[in-house]
Structure 1
Amino acid sequence: MNRFRFGLQARFLLAAGAALLVVTAIVALMLARQAAAQQEVLRNSIEVVSQVLDESIKERGTALAQGLADSLVNPLYYEDLAAIGALVRNTTAQTSVSYVLVHDAEGNLIHDGSIDVAGYGQPMADPLAHTAVRAQKLLLQQSPSVLEIDLPIHIGDQRIGGLRVGMDLKPVLAQEAAAMRTLSQRLDDSRRRQWLWLTALMAALVAFVSATALYIQRTMVRPIRWLSDAAQRIERGDYQIEEQSTRRGDEISELLRTFNRMSQSIARHDREVRQMAYTDALTGLTNRLAFREALDGRLHEARLAGRSLALLFIDIDEFKRVNDTLGHEAGDDALLQFAQRIANSVDQVGGSEALLSRFGGDEFVILVGDGERSAAEVAAKLAERLVVELGQPLQVQQREIFLGSSIGITLFPEDANGATVLLKNGDIAMYQAKLAGKNCFRYYNRAMDHAVERRLYLEQELRGAWDRGELRLVYQPIFRTRDHMLVGAEVLLRWNHPTLGSIPPSVFIDVAEQSGLIQALGPKVLHAACEQAMQWPRNAAGEEVFISVNVSPRQLRNGDLVGEVETSLHTSGLAASRLHLELTETAVIGDEILAVTLLEKLHRAGVRVWLDDFGTGFSGLSHLRQVPVDGVKIDRSFVADMERDPDDLALTTAIIAMAHALGITVVAEGVEQRAQFELLSQRGCDLVQGYWLGRPLNADALVQLLEHDTAGVPGILA
């Protein structure tokens, strides 16, 4: 059963009906005894007073707006927000001024006199804004409570913005009401003896009107005003609204209770959104967005106080190998351990003002300020501590792995005066730490910019180097150990720049890999090598010589490697058995499922695949059973120390034995001494290459070697 509800509408109708009855009775009595002349005088007087006050407020507001507009020309032109704010606040302080808004030529708010200017740079959206922005000259607009004077602000013929001054009409209305009461009182005095009998009725009317006004104020106006103020605060982003308690059962009270619940829900949702927006989900550290906002604020404070700051840019060395070999869950575990070690070091060395953030991936950034020690000193000690701590082994999935970190340090204001440049300098210094051998830290200096510019220049020049004929192919001979016969050649890429001269492969291949140019160069090298191999004669044993081509990890993962190989073989006419592809061990095991699929397709096409730099990755010998490869190339670092290091000799022997047990060919690279060749030959290594056996040759020299050589390695192994 619905309970009767004495709601707001019923209250208002009852009060209005009672007021109507009382007013009707009073008016009926007054009209009978009031002279028409007195009524006309009263009405005319009220109109005159209203007109005078309106003209007064318009003249005052116009003069105030014109003076303020003239004062704002220079600050607005030079975007001096402090000066604009001072002028606006001085004007707003006047009792008759409701608000002052300064906007640009497009209608975007520049200043409203507040400290934080919450709507700065945003379009004004109030009902009077559209007309005010379009005003070409002085314009007056009026609402029930405000008289607004709008003025465009010009410098010469150029409009640079506008001014909106809102004059509060409440004092005017109050003066009009006061004037009306005064006039009514004087008329009452003149009519007192005639209208004495109306005194009681008028007193009753005043009391009734006052009670009604008080009642409406308490039950309607005050709650609605609170709702309006609270909605404006929420609109400005202030969700800390004081709860309004009420026990009444009318619509306004129910609206208040609903609004209380809504504001609490919005505040809770805002906290959750900010938590997600400003926190890294994996580590719980502040993220890039939060750090950038904090960095802007810290830089501003440091400028004002004349303090220095230091920024450390940290990148984990070889972290990609963890994801590639152990999986992303292991990578997340490693990141959490690194984040904890970094946080502990920051707490112990960085000082109370240090700010730590994860920028994404394996990048962390730390901001330290100068307290008892200088920022540079704190950064140096913290970097030394981090290099040691992050170089310690990690326990991931019951495995012990060693990674390390490269750290770049840049200082404010010595190196940069803004957040963007400071972060860029930290990144550059970190990259230099990687080039210096990793697991170390480097300070930013101006020379690093030149290194970056040189790298960008090399990337730009490399884009057209093949078409300009600057890149050429050379071939390093590969010999069979049992009969010293030349059986193949590895194709190598060389770059002779017209102004920079010969650029080492270690430099431009790295540029090609990181820029993605290798995906365009790789197929060209493959096609050219196949074309050249077709011109080679047979070796002294009458065998066809194979060509070995290196394949980039990018080609393996992102390109159509099988299609490129089939196209090169088809257009060149080279037999598939003569093409050997070399893939790095880490590239193959980085995505083993993809690698196995591609290698099986290559095998079906008749192409052979070798694992290059074998022994340097995480995989060890176990992956030889899972990945279908035809051969492995023992990394030159093991060959170089076989004579002096028993461990390297034992590992090389084990690789050869394991590979042969699986039916896999073994190639040793970097053979530069006769003793190395003999050790490899004694252990059954199938193929060898290196400077002692033969340096890289151009195509013509290799053809001549094949045509005239009848004893394998001329003059060396005979």
Structure 2
Amino acid sequence: MNRRSEHLLIVEDDVDFVFLLREMFRRYKPSQYTFDNALNLSSALDMFEEGRFDLVLLDLSLPDSSGLETLDQMVTLATDCPILVLTGKDNEEISLEAVRRGAQDYLNKSDLSPKLLFRAIAHAKQRKTLLREIEKTKNRFRRTFEMAGVGILQLSRDFTILDVNRKVCELVQLEACELIHEKLASLIGEQTFSVLQQELENAEEKDIDDVRLEVQLHHSNGTEFWALLMISLSDDTHHEEELILVMEDITERKESEEKLRHFALYDSLTKLPNRAMLMQTLKNAIARHHRHDNYLFAVLFLDLDRFKNVNDSLGHTAGDELLVVLGERLVKTLRENDLVARLGGDEFAVVLDSIQSKEDVHNIAQRLLSEIEQPFTLMGREVFISASIGITHCDGDYHEPGDLLRDADAAMYRSKEGGRGRSTLFQKHMHLDVLSRFSLESELRMGIQRGELRAHYQPIVSLTTGQLIGFETLVRWEHPKRGMVSPGKFIPVAEESELIVQLDRWVLCEALRQSTLWLERCENRDFYISVNLSSRHFMMPDVVTFIDKALDDAGVKPEHLKIEVTESVLISDVTRARTVLAELRGMGVQVFMDDFGTGYSSLSYLQKFPIDALKIDRSFVQQMENYRQQADIVELILLLAKKLGVKVIAEGIEKREHLSILKELGCDAGQGYFLSRPQPPLELEGGLAKKMEEWLEILGG
């Protein structure tokens, strides 16, 4: 759909200057603007009465009017149109006074450039829009809020209800006459009212601008609903006779958050708790053990032996079925207070709660192994499988959940080395595996210095048009002896040390260098390159400065770079994250939230951050055609993103079916092996033209 051209009125008697303006518009914004020219104020006022204009460029020195009087007359007539004043070099005071009297901005005619012109136009329109919204809020407070679907209560200082709008009546299912003159406590309940009062007192003491309280209220028939109560506190609140309380029904949002929270804490395939819930459970168990010496627990790390054979011989559907049945068996074998979690793939973890001895743990592990060795019926065939278990006991003076899991993992590998189908208790000498990781870290450090890192690029494609819109940068390590090292091996090692920052920065600079080459050679420059930032790097004090300098050194405009961060990065320090995001946005660099759906997935958190796009985690995308719930999750994420006004990119598109479902659901863009695998630049360039034709054929229709 073609965008409507904006109609400008240029009120200027200097025809040469008007010609200069027209040339700027024609050259830099050829189809965005149309304009009329008035040589004097009288003609301008006549034109304004006869037609509609989106913006006025007004010279204050005209044949029939001059100075601020010119502006006053135009402001009186153009009440809803932004005005941009054109002034001379020495008219700074008049220019500022013009802004105070109704102009949105001013331009110095003697120092005009396209950049200044279009920035001033954008600022003028934005400022006029903001002023218009402020005016609407003042003059049409009730109507505005009712159209937004929220309830408004006018309260006296003693919290007597003075007035309510229609939405309040709908929410609580009472008539206005039944609410007015009643105390607020009678509507929201004494306990909720006490909490609200306390929050108001705290806010006033700490000079907080507003109070927001999410509470459960009751309809008149007794049914519950979730509501967000909001009271704004201005500097004049102490002197005002009344308070305004806004009541918004957030039941749907809370239900959506609860669903996403469930998805974030439970494995979608087996319905067992996932790694996130496991880590929280372990954290609580460790804390309890340190408080009470007599409380003991243990962790079992369970990995299936030769599970890949099941997938290869019977297919992934059978493999998934086996994992589901296995999860059910584990739960039935254990006590109610024990926890079984799926870590991913064919890995499971068990937390044994309130154990008596290490012998008990060993016996439970043996029962689990025996249960796993019972035959599974898959696709009409009887299948046998075994597992290896590693055990850690809480008496190892553990303080971090990850350490418990790490040592159980090391013990599990010792079980596999010992012949599989067995359990092994962790011993400290198993830390040799840890030493191996240290060795890898040292080699990675040298590899970065020796230039062994390689950048591969995976195209990101619009699912609406089939056009290429960007590339995600992925790092690879070409080791001189090990060959190509999997990112899954060296990135966790880098994340445990400061190497992740070096790695991040190398990837960023390399991506921008490559971007420069492509931008120089490509006719279509409407694409971006995205780069992932680790938590450690994102929270560093100089991260924004480094990105700004890297862009400047490469000569790449900020709009060609996107930064990807995960939910956990943002949640780790909300205040710092908001600051960094705001600074990046101020530079013109957009930020994508990566792996969305695998972490907190809270709408209330997302609203705190200026995020430009969500990237749906591959785990949801890859099971959409087999599990309706996965498609429902994707659809829910798309709906949430639409409410937030952000784009959605799907990762892990490996089949045409994935593409079809995502396109049908209205997903904006996607990436994955079905579209293109990550490749080095030269290899990517060699086949990109053919790939782009395929994308257009599949998606462009």
TM-score (norm 2): 0.43
Whose strand fraction is larger, Structure 1's or Structure 2's? Answer: 2
Larger Rg: 1
TM-score by length of 1: 0.42
